[in-house]
A and B are shown apart, each in its own frame.
Chain A
């Protein structure tokens, strides 16, 4: 049985810590019971309590002291409450801290807007030098955690809540920093969908099944350095892109790609500008925000999709 992204994070980190005694797992009291890392490495598990900003700064001190701290809480509390600590310690000073941020987007569903985070990528992308990874499914999440542990770069890893997905196929030797495509044969397409994150990748999978003329490129890393590295390859496969991302349109991946590729048309399927004030599960809240297959079909048609969509 597959694991959700945040459970895959705990499981993979616990595995890695067997090989690397520098790895620490820090929680801000949202790690939950039966935490895989806590059970296997209690001496390197630190619940610092509900003190996210101090937690990031302390992680900076722990990193300076020779450890590789992974700090986890919900995305909103990590990216927004601790924003200044992240900017200074991870962005400016480059301290080797890895943040695993669960509850990305509106995966918190009925927990409400305090527990949603549709702004994190905008905030983190503006703090230069931090790797931002949005893995899809267990396999990709595990691979990103391994890459983060092996890298000296600070990381922000956006995870969801409890949903379980099958990652797209990726060769074992292939880094998550490489773009992968849903199609086996990559041909120039009139429109390339770019998926970022779990729900977006699922949507793009469904969309390309309905319209095989679309190309689906899946990005895991969406920090500014990574996005700049993708431009040359992306321009070979299309000159029109529709970025699908569970995020605000402002400051998201589409907005930065549009700056990087002014000669291309870059569109965005995103969560718009409404505050979700109602309950419901993840899918319900996404529907309220206009993020879903029907809306995506309409957008593709408006851009100039084919096959009658």
Chain B
């Protein structure tokens, strides 16, 4: 894996704070997996560090926009928004329940969610369009889309990549949670990418590859380039943090018992 050329050093306290939040978020995700509906636990645990890192950088400034395009990881998004104080309701209590806006895919009627995702691919052009609007208005605003590597099988992602380079939308950041899994198995078995970095580079993106669980690397990577749109290929582990399911492609969706949830929570720091 390539490392970042110039690593901005972030304060130890910020990284420590994010590590603590990540631990809390993982506990919430496990709790959501123990609700009557269960949740998409594998991808939520792979993307949560990316979400927390990006939110700490851009989430509290309304001049920027963040979209989780791999909407099946809603549990991670809700946990992130809750821990950042954007939504007040603890998502582990009513996730997926009748009368709750905490639906299994992100609900735009909740604060902090600009676009209802879940049908894969749509969040990418939405964030790019929003970034283009900022560029046309001449204001500084970064549009960030967080997608998955399975999601890249959707043509919409590449339609957008083409438009982004054609229109020079350099204030657009596309983060790919490369956890290697998708609903029915492994990306490499179902529809592999032989040179993902090159694919993005051929679309005119500046590409950075990082460890998607390392906050130093996440925070350093999500700085836009003044000339080119940025793709961050974040290598992650499906089910990260829960030893029983780490790297298991079958952990895409899980409904677990309270007993298992308690054990998994205790395994977290």
Residue numbers of A with Cβ under 8 A of B are: 43-44, 46, 48-49, 51, 53-55, 57-62, 64-67, 84-85, 88-89, 92-93
Q: Is B125 an interface residue, CB under 8 A from the partner?
A: yes
Query: A88 to chain B: closest CB distance in Å?
Result: 6
Chain B 113-135, CB-CB to A under 8 Å as 1, else 0, gives: 01110010010111111111110
Known: A61-B125, A65-B130, A65-B133. A54 touches B115 (CB 8 A): no
- Selected A-B contacts with CB under 8 Å, 23 pairs: A46-B167, A48-B166, A49-B166, A51-B163, A53-B159, A54-B159, A54-B160, A57-B122, A57-B124, A57-B125, A58-B132, A60-B115, A61-B126, A61-B127, A61-B128, A61-B143, A64-B65, A64-B133, A65-B130, A67-B133, A67-B136, A84-B119, A88-B116
Which residue of chain B has the shortest Cβ distance to A47 in the bound complex? Answer: B166
A61 to B131, CA, bound (A): 8
A23 to B162, CA, bound (A): 24
> Are A62 and B122 neighbours in the complex by a CB distance under 8 Å?
no
**Consensus secondary structure, chain B interface:** helix
Known: A57-B126, A84-B119. A65 touches B134 (CB 8 A): yes
A54 to B126, CA, bound (A): 8
Provide the residues of chain A in CB contact with B86, threshold 8 Å: none
Of B115, B119, B133, B166, the contact of A62 (CB 8 Å cutoff): B133
Provide the residues of chain A in CB contact with B125, threshold 8 Å: 53-55, 57-58, 61
Q: Is B108 an interface residue, CB under 8 A from the partner?
A: yes
> Are A61 and B132 neighbours in the complex by a CB distance under 8 Å?
yes
Known: A67-B136, A93-B108, A93-B116. A62 touches B130 (CB 8 A): yes
Q: Is B259 an interface residue, CB under 8 A from the partner?
A: no
Tally of B interface residues using CB under 8 Å? 30
Q: For residues 160 through 177 of chain B, which have their beta carbon under 8 Å from a beta carbon of chain A?
A: 160, 162-163, 166-167
Of B122, B129, B130, B133, the contact of A88 (CB 8 Å cutoff): B122
Q: Is B110 an interface residue, CB under 8 A from the partner?
A: no
Of B108, B124, B129, B155, the contact of A65 (CB 8 Å cutoff): B129
Provide the residues of chain A in CB contact with B115, threshold 8 Å: 60, 64, 89, 93
Query: B125 to chain A: closest CB distance in Å?
Result: 4
Query: B58 to chain A: closest CB distance in Å?
Result: 15
Provide the residues of chain B in CB contact with A65, threshold 8 Å: 129-130, 132-134, 136-137, 141
Q: Is B256 an interface residue, CB under 8 A from the partner?
A: no
Provide the residues of chain B in CB contact with A44, threshold 8 Å: 136
Of B129, B156, B160, the contact of A59 (CB 8 Å cutoff): B129
Provide the residues of chain A in CB contact with B128, threshold 8 Å: 58, 61
> Are B162 and A51 neighbours in the complex by a CB distance under 8 Å?
yes
A43 to B166, CA, bound (A): 15
A53 to B160, CA, bound (A): 9
The residue in B114, B128, B129, B163 that gathers the most chain A C-beta atoms within 10 A of its C-beta is B129
Of A46, A64, A92, the contact of B130 (CB 8 Å cutoff): A64
Provide the residues of chain A in CB contact with B131, threshold 8 Å: 61
A93 to B116, CA, bound (A): 8
Provide the residues of chain B in CB contact with A61, threshold 8 Å: 125-133, 143
Provide the residues of chain B in CB contact with A62, threshold 8 Å: 129-130, 132-133, 136
Provide the residues of chain B in CB contact with A89, threshold 8 Å: 115, 122, 126
Nearest 5 A-B pairs (CB), nearest first? A65-B133, A61-B129, A58-B129, A61-B130, A57-B125
Provide the residues of chain B in CB contact with A84, threshold 8 Å: 119, 122
A55 to B160, CA, bound (A): 8
Q: What would 18 more interface pairs be, CB under 8 Å, given A57-B156, A58-B125, A61-B130? A: A48-B163, A48-B167, A51-B162, A51-B163, A54-B163, A55-B163, A57-B125, A58-B126, A58-B128, A58-B129, A58-B160, A61-B128, A65-B132, A65-B133, A65-B136, A66-B137, A92-B116, A93-B115
